[in-house]
Each structure stands twice: as C-alpha cells, then as structure tokens.
Chains A and B, each alone.
Chain A
C-alpha cells in the first residue's frame, strides 16, 4: 500500500540536544509538508517543499530546519529543542495543485 511513513513514532530528547525526525513516502507526490501539533491545538504548517523548492512559513522559528534529499524523503531538524517544542510532528504529502493531503502517523517529541 502506498503510504507516508514517519520514524521514529516517539522521540525523547534533552533540552538543547539536536534531533532529526524523518518522513518517507511511496506515493511519489511532489509536495511534502511538516506540521507541528500541540495538545488540543490545530496542526500548524512549519514549511513545505514543491519538489526541492523549499517554502518556509513566516512564523516558523529558525530553530527548525528541513532537508529533502530526494522525492521520497524529507527530514525535520530541530537544532536546539526547547520545552516548548514538545509536540506531535506530522508529515504530509500531496500532488501539485491538489488540496488533498496524505498524512503520516506522526512523531511525538518529548523534550526533557
């Protein structure tokens, strides 16, 4: 089955220790997204890629970076996690010019 896979499902890191979350897809979609969702809040778009063209949201902190080495993979790097970065991180994909996004199961990040 074509899908969006996120690893790991749960990640624990220490305050200030860099962490990388990964996402892969078998849908061959051109667009990939990273969302942050805190408890009882709406998923918030951090950035997205059209192929390799990176698009950052204006209010995404500099602490968050992303890499997309190829169509299938996308990474979220948090350079110096703070306690406020503890959240569920959702990866999604879509075809270009499609509103329908396909989500992975998410990675729950805990910062100690």
Chain B
C-alpha cells in the first residue's frame, strides 16, 4: 500500500522553463512534507519542506505547494537548470519533529540544454 505516490517516473523539461513535480498522499495523518534530490551514486539530499499549516514554501528557485484537501503537493523549479537533472523524492511524516519518513518512488527529472 503506497501511501506516498509519485505517478510520473520521469519528466523532461527545457532549460530555463518551469519544472513541476507532483506527489499525492493517501494518509490523512501526514502533516509534514519534504522533497529530496538524488544524483547518481550519491545519497538523497534534503531540498525543501512544508508544514500542513502552510500552503506554500519558497527557497530560491524552488517552491513547494501543498493542497491538503486534495492530498497533493508539487515542487516547482524555475528557471530549470542542467544541474537540476536528478531523481526527486517526495516524503511525508505524521508531524514536524517525527523523524520517520514515508517516501514516494521518485521522479527522474532531465533538463534539456
């Protein structure tokens, strides 16, 4: 039973355009959400997070949007750069400060120069 779903295994975007990665969750107990980025031969690294008390969080070129009623979040990258090519994992936890994370299967983003 996959509680965190990333339905697009891959996505290709032209350099300079916006990349939108999507994530859906089924467990209404999830309250805190994170995005991780993974390059080949490296472990995932934390990118950005959002609490359910917010609907948007921004950090430079990266913005995460949360629609709690739809149980949906998305990561926007604008403008997309070649170094953004990586696998992006969505993760969720029951509340901020609960260390246990449930991950999605990841989306491979390729930025085309």
Contacts and interface: CB of A to CB of B under 8 A. Distances in A.
Interface residues of A, number: 24
A97 B99 contact: yes
**Secondary structure of the A contact surface, majority rule:** loop
B105 interface: yes
A99 interface: yes
Nearest to B42: A105
B8 interface: no
Contacts, number: 59
A99 B43 contact: no
A102 B43 CA distance: 8
**Secondary structure of the B contact surface, majority rule:** loop
B100 A42 contact: no
Contact of B43 (A40, A41, A92, A98): A92
Given A99-B32, A103-B43, A105-B42, A42 B97 contact: no
Interface of A: 4, 31, 33, 40-45, 48, 90, 92, 94, 96-106
18 contacts: A4-B43, A33-B99, A42-B102, A42-B104, A45-B101, A45-B102, A92-B43, A99-B93, A99-B98, A99-B101, A101-B46, A102-B43, A102-B46, A103-B36, A103-B43, A103-B45, A104-B43, A105-B42
Q: Which 8 A-B pairs have the closest CB atoms?
A: A103-B43, A97-B97, A42-B103, A43-B103, A42-B105, A100-B46, A103-B44, A105-B43
Interface of B: 2, 4, 9, 32, 34, 36, 41-46, 49, 89, 93, 96-106
